[in-house]
Structure formats: C-alpha cells, structure tokens
Chains A and B, each alone.
Chain A
C-alpha cells in the first residue's frame, strides 16, 4: 500500500559537506581559542577554518539548490524543511532569551541588591559597597570602564527601528509579487529589503563608532556596556546573516529560481528576517528606551 508521497521522499546519498564543516569549525574555533590565549598561530588556523566553512556553505547550499530546481523534493520534503527552519529559529530565540534574561536579572535583582535593597541587599550591598547607589544605567560600584554616556533611543535607534520595520513590509511585498508571478516586482522589493538591511547595519556601525569614540560606552563599561553590546552585537550579527540570506534569494530570483507555488528558501529567509526584526523591537524597548 504505497502512497505517492512516501515513495518519493528524497533520501540523499552520502555527503562530504558535513565532515568538511566539522573540520572547518574545529580549525576556526580552535584557532580562535589559541589566539585568545595570546598565540598568534591561531589566526592562521582561524583563516583556514573560515575558508573551509565558506567553501562548505557554497557547496552544501549549492547542491541543495540544484536538487530543488531539478524537482528532487516533493511536498513532504518541503514540509520537513519548513519545520526544520521554524525550530532553528526557535533555538535562536532562546539564545537571545539568555541575554535578555541576563539584562532583566541585572536590572530587577542584582543591581538593586548591590545598592542595598531588600533582605539580600542588606547582607551584601552596604558591607561590600557602602557608597554604591543602585541606578540604571550603571557600570557598577567600581565604575568599571570609567564614566560613560548612553545612546538616546530617539536618534539612530528609532531610525533603525523604522528601517527594519519597513524592510519587514518590503519583504512581504516581495512575497506577494512572487505569489502572483510578478518577477520584476519581486526583485525590486527584495532589492529594497536587502538595501534596507545593509543601511541598518551601516547606521549600527556609525552608532558603535559614536559609542566607542565619543561616549566612552564600550564592552568594558560594566554591566550596562556588557548587556548593551552583547545584545546589539549579536543582533547585528544576525542581521548580517539575514541580509546575506536575502541577498542570495535576490540573486536566485534574478536567475529565475522559485515558482509562485514552490519557494521554501524565500520563505525561510523571510521568516528569519522577521525574527531579526522582532528581536530588534525587544532591543529598542528594553535596551535603548526603558
């Protein structure tokens, strides 16, 4: 009693990409660890590892794209890909949750305790740091990193919020264009999305430069600087990844890939982009604004 879908679920042959990825990761991370410990040879390993990983990514994704374009994947494989992407994004959400949790814990609990608040604060704050007044932002009782200023929410961050939200709209317009088969509109809206992504990154770079150059707000600026740069930095990294994903989708669209019915890769990149967008809203509210 064979059903059509099960019979043609695509199970690929042996693959060399994963082992290549593992070797690349090992070289890159091992090299990075060596470099952090002050041995310069680490940089060479890092560079080689990065090259191996990039080669692997091109090879692996290239193979999957070819298989997709030649119709190797049936509807059930498509569902597997969709579910896989969704749960990958969930794992990314949890990665950010660790840093948001850190931010909330510091602001709600540990910084007030350091200032002597509550039963726990009475036991530690006044004994260890008698002169510390809890406030946010702070770089702690020892003023680690020296006095600093923060970036006001309603300057570049608000502008960047507008840029990312707009890019969420343009990627949806691109999706609608793809679904009605209007390829030139698809490419135009995708181009706009990618451009907005890179404009966001440019502004973020300007803002980091301003923070380091003028405000003395750095990774060294106590708990505020730590949470600020960890959250915005990892977010920026994810915007970069998302923008590169969309760039690949744009190039594929220009080559004529995707049909109005079948375009999982487009949707996966768009989902990722919306995820990056939502994380930014959390950042804008809790890191910059409140």
Chain B
C-alpha cells in the first residue's frame, strides 16, 4: 500500500501546488489539515509552557507559609490565568491539533471537509490569547476571580472583565468552527468501506467530543455575555436586588463546564484505545461497548453539572439528583477501564514511550476518577468543597489524564508526522520523570485537602507546610521534565532514524498505510477499507 505517493503525482488534478507554498506565509494562509494541525499543536505547546510558568509561580508562593513572591491579588490572577490558559489554550487546542492531523489520515480523506474555515478556527486563537494575556498589563491587572468567573466577585475587578469575556467569545467561535469541521469531515469524508462501526476509537471519541463542543460552547458564550451586560449595561441577571440570582450564573456556567471536562478527556480515551492494542498486539477488547460507553458519558455529562455546586444551597431533590447521576458516570467509565485492561490481558506487550504514558494514564486517571466518586457524594463534598482535595482530583484527571494521553499520542504518531523516530531513551526519561514528579506534585494535595486547606489562597496555616513543600518540589520537577519533551520533538523534526510506514509492528489502521511523513494531500485516492484494516 506504499504506492500512495505515486498515486498522488498521478492524480494531482485541479490544484497546481503539490506541496506547501514557500515562505512563512504558508503558515498564515494554509488550508492544509497537516499544517493547521501542526500550528494547533505548537500553539498548544507554547500555551502549556505559559500556563506552566504561572503554575510554577503558584507553587513557588506556596512553597512555605506566608507571602513570599506573589501578592494575594497577583496570586489570584495567576491561578485564574493558569486555568484559563491550560484549559482553552493548551489542552483543547492540542486535541484539535490531533484531530486535524489524524482524522483525514485515519478515515481515508484528502483533507478536512471545510479547509478555509479550518484555517480560521486556528488563527482566531493567537488573537484570543493575546487579548486575554494583555490583561496583565491593563489597569486592574488580569482576571482574578477564578476561571469559573463567578459573580459578583468577577464583576468587581478592573478593566479585565470585558477583555476576558471577548477572549472567551473568540475561543468559543474557534471551538465551534473546529467542531463543525470535525463532524462534517467524519460524517461526509470517510473512504468507501469505512462504516461508522469500523472507525478507529480516536475518530469516535472526537466525533462525540465535537457534539459536546457544539452544545456547550454557545452556553458559555451566553453566560459570559450576561456578565458583560450586568457590568456595563445595567442588567440584573446575577443581582438579587433586581430579582436575579448569582447562583444562576453557576448553573449556566457548569452546564457548559461539565461537558467541557469531557471535551478534554474523551479524545484521551480515544488515543489510549489506539495505543494499548498496538503495544499489546491484540485487537481492542469490546470495541462496540467502548463506543457506547463514550456516548453514554457524553450524554450523562449534561445532567450532572450541579455537583460542582453542592454547597451553594440547592433543594434536597437537586442534591440527590445530581449526586446519583454523577455516580452513574462511573459505570461507562468502568467499562472503558475494564476494556483497556482486558485488551492487555495475555497480550504480547512491549513498553515503548507511548505505551508507558498510556498505561500511566489508565492507572492515574482512574485514581482521579475515584476521588471524583468521593466528591460526587454530596454530604461528603460538603467537607471537601473548595479544598485542595478538589484541586488534587481535577489535576489527576487533567495532567496524568488528558496531558499524559496527549504525550502518549504525540510519541505514538510523532514518527508518522515527522518521518523520523523520536529518541526512545529520552522519551523514557521524560516518562519516568513526569510520572514520578506528577505524583509527588499532586498526591500530597489530597492530604492537604482532607486536612482542610482551602484552594485559591496564597497563604496557609503552618500545619500544611510539609506537604506543600513536597508538592512544590514535585511541581518544579514536573515543570523541568517537560523541557525534555520539547527537545525530543525538536530532535525528531530535525532528523533521526527514518520511520517506516507502519512505524509500530502491531499498529493497525489507515494512517499506517501512508508514507511517513504522509504526502501533503493525504488520500487523493480513497483507499478501500476492509474489516481487517479497520479499527485495531
């Protein structure tokens, strides 16, 4: 099947450029899914380090009790901006980058379905984050009320509110356009024979993620628009004196916010479901149940939002409803974890870097899932709410969860993207340093939270000093370890051992039938997909 490059020359029909345009403007004007995917991922990597620098500042301040380097106001700006940048600037764009690179080459399409809009959905982002980032330099500084933007606090800051609201609008536009493109590409551009239930799991999870984006992002846009009008146009949505209710914002926000966390984790499920079969050299156990479990999680994500607000004062029926629906999520998630483990059962396993990150994902994400189950119990949450236990929980699902899956996917497909094998030894170093330090960083935060340390506070009582110091040391180690990743990526782009088309001996799927790197226009000739080359 390596004759695709030859086909390419042959079928270069109506377009007179076979490859990229010359010069830097290639990246600005490009409509090519691989170029845009690369842009997304490099942007996400940059934001990962910007958000990471803010996290380093936070951990440095928390290294010992008292106020050392960040005044409380600036500390609040750091926590708020860290979250906004990591969620909207790092994890989400990274996944859209994966979608751009992988969807066409995994379903046998020439490109994404709507290439010009694809360019726009990326090129809005640098402007959105410029708008958000420049709030550090305007009167009143950056947003400081937390990424959840709760009124009335968020309405009491300086100039930043309007800039933050418009930045969020821009990010929403970008996400919605990206999601539309993903849905249309998957539904309309599959190669003959690529039936829905032959699609690789990564494609399935991204399709479902795209529906979540289309349903959730406009609601966030509505929520922040109401903040804007309450502040500048005299409305009373969140003002009880005028008949409004600040709690209402929390409901609207979390109606977006809970699906949002699945937007960040479902593609991770997809990537892990690609990698484990490859390195266990066995087909994925329970393919169809994986698809249905993903869809169930997506559906449930819309009826659990108020578990973020158990202590805000809800009627008892509300507490019970959201408690039980939240616990229900453990069922499809358990199906997934079971399937990953069953895939490995009696497999001929090897432990290259992608597999290591995928395995760490399964274990550490499950720890995050368990602490989530604890938080789901409303009466228990009354004690944990707004403590470091919550911080530990969502960092476990996001860092050794979503971010580790991103690393796993990056190592897995890097040879395909660059045409060169990455440095396996450095990859292993990156894995072990990250995995050890991430646990040193976040595991003690469970203890801090259970002992009552509140989140989003720059100072703390002395009894919390030891675990905070350990957590900070883990944080610095984790931050530094990520520089290895940058070097590995740089090295693979520059050169190295040539990657074969299939790269991994156990890999299945259309992307491995293309050359490494694939031709500029992926599948000009649609492949015929058989059951054997379908999902791994």
Which of A's residues lie within 8 Å of B, judged by CB? 1-3, 6-19, 21-23, 25-26, 29-30, 32-33, 36-37, 60, 72, 76, 79-81, 83-84, 87-88, 90-92, 94-99, 101-102, 105-106, 109-111, 113-114, 118-120, 123-124, 128-129, 138-142, 144-145, 218-220, 222-227, 229-230
Contacts and interface: CB of A to CB of B under 8 A. Distances in A.
A180 B241 CA distance: 59
B217 A91 contact: yes
Interface stretch (B196-204, B247-255, B363-371, B398-406): B247-255
B233 A76 contact: no
B116 A17 contact: yes
B218 A91 contact: yes
B479 interface: no
A23 B11 contact: no
Interface string B179-207: 11101100111011000000000000000
B123 A22 contact: yes
B104 to A, nearest CB: 10
A267 B395 CA distance: 46
Given A101-B252, A106-B243, A9 B110 contact: yes
Contacts of B217: 91
Contacts of A90: 214-215
Given A1-B528, A30-B166, A123-B313, A11 B31 contact: yes
A139 B240 CA distance: 10
Contacts of B181: 84
A1 B218 contact: no
If over half of B's interface residues share one DSSP class (helix, strand or loop), that class is named, otherwise mixed; here it is helix
Contacts of B345: none
Nearest to B249: A102
Given A12-B116, A120-B314, A222 B244 contact: yes
Interface in B508-536: 521, 523-526, 528
B243 A12 contact: no
A80 B182 CA distance: 11
B251 A139 contact: no
Contacts of B115: 11-12
Interface in B217-246: 217-219, 221-223, 225-226, 228-230, 232-237, 239-245
B14 interface: yes
B235 A226 contact: yes
Contacts of A225: 235-236
B524 A14 contact: no
Interface in B11-69: 11, 13-15, 17, 21, 25-26, 28-31
A99 B526 CA distance: 44
B119 interface: yes
B260 to A, nearest CB: 13
A140 B15 contact: no
B251 A105 contact: yes
Contact of A94 (B31, B219, B225, B243): B219
A98 B219 contact: yes
B219 A11 contact: no
B299 interface: no
Contact of B180 (A87, A111, A129): A87
Given A29-B170, A101-B252, A219 B235 contact: yes
A114 B11 CA distance: 69
A219 B242 CA distance: 11
A78 to B, nearest CB: 10
19 contacts: A2-B11, A3-B192, A3-B526, A6-B524, A6-B526, A15-B119, A23-B127, A29-B131, A29-B166, A60-B116, A87-B180, A88-B176, A110-B244, A111-B243, A123-B313, A124-B313, A220-B234, A223-B237, A226-B235
Given A7-B13, A33-B166, A106-B245, A18 B188 contact: no
User: Which of the listed residues B17, B127, B528 has the most CB atoms from chain A within 10 Å of its own CB?
Assistant: B127
A26 B133 CA distance: 13
Minimum-distance CB pairs A-B, first 5: A98-B222, A14-B29, A140-B243, A18-B120, A223-B243
B376 interface: no
Contact of A25 (B113, B124, B163, B247): B124
A84 B116 CA distance: 13
B136 interface: no
A124 B240 CA distance: 11
Given A105-B248, A222-B236, A144 B241 contact: yes
